[in-house]
A and B are shown apart, each in its own frame.
Chain A
Amino acid sequence: MEQVRVVLRASDPLSYEGLLSYLQSRSEFTVVDPADQAEATVFVVSCDQLTADVVALLRRSAAELAVPVVLVVSEITEAELLIAVECRVVAVLPRGAVTADRLAHSVLAAANGGGVLPPNLVGELLKHVERLHREVLTPNGLNAAGLTSREIDVLRLMANGFDTHEIADELCYSERTVKNVIYGVTHRLKLRNRAHAVAYALRTGMI
């Protein structure tokens, strides 16, 4: 059987040595020197997070080598996963759960898969599609009914021209509480200031 030629890059020496020992323990793989990376059939990259440097490395390899990539990473966000897939990553292995067998399976699948995304990554992409509906129609996870009764009371008095001290007196709250309520609603709803908060509440019929 023809050996799979692997280029290995890791963000720290310990990970590099660990993954290298895994790969060298299997007769199916030859680890090639990065200087000879043009001969590689699979690229294995290990990192803690997808930092700008790692993304740059992946983009370079996608442009220059165009070989499938196995990414070993501690954590990855949805947006980072999309970047990784764009850079020909076809397998993502959680760093803390990598074993010699799992690494070998992923590298072989990458070598034999012709760059086609495996079912688990297709599944992640389809989850992204499913989330679009929610993200587009209810940005920040909120709908127009996302105010508490306390927030509505404060906004109603703000709309009547009360200042923080007067609102606190009227509702028997401390001024700090009133300020926290105002900060909470403006921050959560991404409103610019008190006037915007009042306008929002009026427009949505909350007050």
Chain B
Amino acid sequence: MLADRDAVSDPFAGELFLTLAMEGRLVIDAVRADAAIADLQRTLSAVQNRLHVLRVRQGRPTWRMDDLPDDLASDVVNAIFADQLSPGRLEQAEIELRKYIEAVRCARRPGPPPGAAASNTPEPQ
């Protein structure tokens, strides 16, 4: 359905999700909401790990990759690489991901998906 004209634009819409959830326009059944929250928390945790790596590295300018065990070196390289490609995005992601999590929690409703309601029956084929 979606075109890809803006594949590299700013990927975040945390504020919009918060607004939709708080106005009651975004309603997510518990199963999908819980899965989305778990996914977002996993991403947030990975972002925080990478930010930690970058901050540690900034504090030790003489740090050499050769001094690190292979598995850790790979994590460090990935963190630095991602930050080089999109400087500042990890910091932005940390802020935005918290908004998404709050929004999905707010939009979460117990029970079946809202699609079961009469007003949202499937579109005719």
- Residue numbers of A with Cβ under 8 A of B are 75-82, 85-86, 88, 92, 94, 101-102, 105-106, 109, 112-120, 122, 124-126, 128-133, 135-140, 142-144, 189-190, 200, 203-205
What residue in chain B is nearest A140 (Cβ atoms)? B85
Supposing A204-B77, A205-B65 touch, asked if A118 and B115 sit within 8 A by C-beta, the answer is yes
Q: Quote the shortest CB–CB distance from A113 to chain B (angstroms).
A: 5
Q: Which residues of B contact A (CB under 8 A)?
A: 1-6, 8-13, 16-17, 19-20, 23-28, 32, 36, 39-40, 42-43, 46-47, 50, 65, 73-74, 77-78, 80-82, 84-86, 89-90, 93, 97, 100, 104, 113-115, 118-121, 123-124
Instruction: Say yes or no: A118-B120 contact (C-beta < 8 A), given A76-B2, A86-B19.
Output: yes
Asked whether, in the complex, the Cβ of B13 is within 8 Å of the Cβ of A82, the reply is yes
Question: In the complex, A104→B57 CA distance in Å?
Answer: 59
Q: Judge whether A116 and B24 touch: CB under 8 Å.
A: yes
Do the beta carbons of A136 and B93 come within 8 Å of each other? yes
**Cβ-closest chain A residue relative to B5:** A77
Tell me if B36 and A126 are in contact (CB < 8 A): yes
Across the two chains, which residue of chain A brings its CB closest to B119?
A: A112
**Cβ B84 vs Cβ A113 within 8 A:** no
A174 to chain B, nearest CB (A): 30
CB neighbours (8 Å) of A78 from chain B are 2, 6
Residue of B nearest to A130 (CB): B39
Check if B85 sits within 8 Å of A113, measured CB to CB. Answer: no
Compute how far the CA of A56 lies from the CA of B65 in the bound complex, rounded to whole angstroms.
51
For the A-B complex with A132-B93, A142-B81 known, give 8 more contacts whose Cβ atoms are closer than 8 Å. Answer: A77-B3, A77-B5, A112-B118, A116-B24, A118-B120, A129-B104, A140-B85, A205-B77
The A-B contact count (CB < 8 A) is 140
Contact yes or no, B9 A113, CB < 8 A: no
Residues in A whose Cβ lies below 8 Å from that of B85: 139-140, 142, 189-190
Cβ of A101 and Cβ of B2 under 8 Å apart?
no
Report the minimal beta-carbon distance from B123 to chain A, rounded to whole angstroms. Answer: 6
Contact between B11 and A129, CB atoms less than 8 A apart: no
List, in ascending order, chain B residues with CB within 8 A of A133's CB.
Answer: 39, 42-43, 46
Interchain CB contact under 8 A, B90 and A136 = yes
Q: How far does the alpha carbon of A79 sit from the alpha carbon of B6 in the complex, in Å?
A: 7
CB-CB under 8 A from A139, the residues of chain B are 82, 85-86, 89
Asked if A137 and B124 sit within 8 Å, CB to CB, the answer is: no
Q: Contact between A132 and B11 (Cβ–Cβ < 8 Å)?
A: yes
Given known pairs A85-B20, A144-B78, A203-B80, the reply for A119 and B114 (CB within 8 Å) is: yes
Q: Which residue of A lies closest to B90 (CB)?
A: A136
Q: A117-B26, A131-B11 are in contact. Are A105 and B124 (CB under 8 A)?
A: yes
Contacts of A119 on B, CB cut-off 8 Å?
113-115, 120
A123 to chain B, nearest CB (A): 9
Choose among A126, A132, A200 the residue with the greatest number of B CB atoms under 10 Å from its CB.
A132
- Flag if B121 contacts A144 (CB, 8 Å): no
- The distance in angstroms between the C-alpha atoms of A18 and B34, with both chains bound, is 43
Contact A204 B43 (CB under 8 A): no
